Amino acid sequence: AYQFFLTTENTLEQSKAMNGLGLIHLAQHEYAKAAAKFETCLKQALKGNHLSMILRGYLNLGIAQSELFLYQEAKRNLQKTAELSIAQQDTTHLAMSYNRLGKVYFDTKQLDSAAYFYAQVEKLGDRLSQWEKTFLYAGKAELALFQKKYAEAIQHGLVSYEVAKEMNAFWDMQRASRILSDAYESQ
C-alpha cells in the first residue's frame, strides 16, 4: 500500500500505510524497525498536515522508543502527543499518551511522576476505553507492587485482569497476571 501511495503523492495514505507497518513491527517486538516506520509515518503526516496521523506518529514513535529504552526521546514524543491531544480535545490520544508516560516514568524510577500521569488518566473516568483501563490499572498495580503496597497492587491488578479478560486481550491479561503473581508471592 505504501509503495502504491508513493506514486500518488497522497501523504495521508502514505502515513497510514507506514503506521500500519510500524504496528506490525511493534507487535513482533521489532522495536527499531517499528521506530523507523513511525518516523516515516510522522514525516509524511507532518508534510501533509494530517493531525490524526501526526498524533498517531508521535504516540507510536514514543512507544517504540520506550521499548528501546530511549526514554528521553519517548517522553518528548509522548508529551507532544499529549499537548496536541489537549489542543484538539482528543481524550483518546491523551489517555494513551498519559498512560505510556506513566509507564516510562515508572521504568525510569521516577515514581511520583508515574503516579501523577496515572492519576491524570484516571481523571478521564468514563471517557476511557477498555484498553486504557487495563493499561492504567496494570500500571497502578506495578507501581504499588514496587512500593511494597501488596494489597493495593492486588486490587489494581485484579481490575486490570478483569477488564482485559472481558476484551479477550491476551497481552494485557499476561501483564496483569504477572503483576498479580508477584504481588501475591510478595504478600
**Neighbouring C-alpha atoms within 13 Å toward the C-beta of 138:** 25
CA distance 121 to 25: 27
> 122-166 pLDDT, tens per residue?
999 999 999 999 999 999 999 999 999 999 999 999 999 999 999
CA nearest 53: which of 13, 89, 9, 3?
13
Task: Tell me if 157 sits within 8 A of 124, measured CB to CB.
Answer: no
> 22-38 pLDDT, tens per residue?
999 999 999 999 999 99
> 88-110 pLDDT, tens per residue?
999 999 999 999 999 999 999 99
How does residue 11 score in pLDDT terms, banded at 50, 70 and 90? Answer: confident
pLDDT for position 9 = 76
pLDDT for position 68 = 98
Residue 109: φ, ψ to 5°: 60, 30
**Neighbouring C-alpha atoms within 13 Å toward the C-beta of 42:** 18
pLDDT for position 3 = 67
CA distance 182 to 187: 8
pLDDT for position 22 = 96
Helix, strand, coil shares of the chain, percent, nearest 5, are 85, 0, 15
